[in-house]
Amino acid sequence: ETGVTQTPRHLVMGMTNKKSLKCEQHLGHNAMYWYKQSAKKPLELMFVYNFKEQTENNSVPSRFSPECPNSSHLFLHLHTLQPEDSALYLCASSQDWGLTQETQYFGPGTRLLVL
């Protein structure tokens, strides 16, 4: 497989459930990102990891917990979510967080619905 993959593609969960989103990149990149895309809103950066270290947390509620075990994998652990957390969650990767001349490569996203 190539590029950035995300699983699952669709997820429905109750507010008391615990679930995890998975992202994997096959591009040899060192930086990985989680974004949230809600209807009628711009993409919002949630977290950034560079060389497995978290470099950005954009004031994300603690019910979202990221994990980056290595440079190729990124997880987003979800617990006690709210209906307003329903959105498309996109993962991205790039060569390095500090390389501003490089673009980011996005996965297809996980469509999350919280009931």
Partner 1 sequence: KQEVTQIPAALSVPEGENLVLNCSFTDSAIYNLQWFRQDPGKGLTSLLLIQSSQREQTSGRLNASLDKSSGRSTLYIAASQPGDSATYLCAVIPSTSGSRLTFGEGTQLTVNP
Note the residues at the interface with partner 1 (CB under 8 A): 4, 6, 31, 40-43, 45, 48, 55-56, 88, 90, 92, 94, 96-109, 111
* CA-based end-to-end distance of the chain: 33
Long-range contacts of 42-46 (CB under 8 A, 24+ apart): 43/90, 46/76
Between 75 and 79, CB nearer to partner 1: 75
Min CB(103)–partner 1 separation in Å? 4
Min CB(16)–partner 1 separation in Å? 27
DSSP category for residue 40: T
Give the whole-angstrom CA distance, residue 97 versus residue 19.
Answer: 27
Give the whole-angstrom CA distance, residue 79 versus residue 114.
Answer: 11
Between 10 and 16, CB nearer to partner 1: 10
Between 16 and 84, CB nearer to partner 1: 84
Min CB(113)–partner 1 separation in Å? 13
